[in-house]
Amino acid sequence: MTKKTPLLIESGEPLVSASLYPERILSRPQYFIQGLKGSVAESFLRVGVYERLVRAANSLPKGWKFVLLDCWRAPELQRELFDTIKCEISRDHPELPPDEVDRRARIFVAYPSVEPDLVSGHCTGGSVDLTLADEKGRTVPMGSGFDETSEKSYTDHYDRILETKGTLSQEEEEILNNRRLLLNLMEREGFSNYPKEWWHFDYGNRNWAIRTGQENCIYGFVRPEMRWRN
């Protein structure tokens, strides 16, 4: 049976800055740091997403913090990421036809669209990419780099290693525990994880609705309100 596309019933919630709670949440927008077109120096989220993120952050171990890697994205940035991934796949696999390159690219980067049925989660302000930092301000081992396009990025990668081998190295066990901590805290507040990226979580957007079986989503395309920019 074909799954019904969730109906968008826009909540109208504004985007808010997610960097004003440094005691528990740090903003490190990776695409701005790397100078990508369309990136911004701030981490924006829908207010409902931010409130859930704060509750999750307050349950972290003492001294630990969330580190935000990417939140709201402009469509221009979404296009640049998608095109870059396609170029990388074509370079590494020149034998692939264009439609297969496109399919593989969509595994790691959503197609750049603002149409309600296709809009990227990040363009709604309902997606957040994040990792963890310990009490000394060091990001903890998570087993793959942010945006790494390999199976090591799959959320359950180390669970599957444990299931297959029956044991893990000390390093692998630490990674597994860190991933489980992040996943459990976020899911407890209603977020849904994209299973091919341990760092990516959704709430309120189309992807969240599909994964959680909701009939409606509440976040569509949005831009932050800026006095001097449209």
Domain range spanning residue 63? 7-217
Mean pLDDT of 118-138: 95
Whether 224 is covered by a domain: the verdict is no
Whether 230 is covered by a domain: the verdict is no
Number of domains in the chain: 1
For all residues of the chain together, what is the average pLDDT? Answer: 93
Rounded Cα distance between 53 and 136, Å, is: 21
Rounded Cα distance between 165 and 210, Å, is: 33
Its pTM stands at 0.92
**SS3 call for 25:** strand
Q: pLDDT tens digits, residue range 177-196?
A: 999 999 999 999 999 999 99
Whether 81 is covered by a domain: the verdict is yes
DSSP character for 46? Answer: E
Whether 82 is covered by a domain: the verdict is yes
Q: What is the CATH number of the domain that holds 125?
A: 3.30.1380.10
Return the structure tokens found at 194: 């994209």
Whether the CB-CB separation of 10 and 126 falls below 8 Å is answered with no
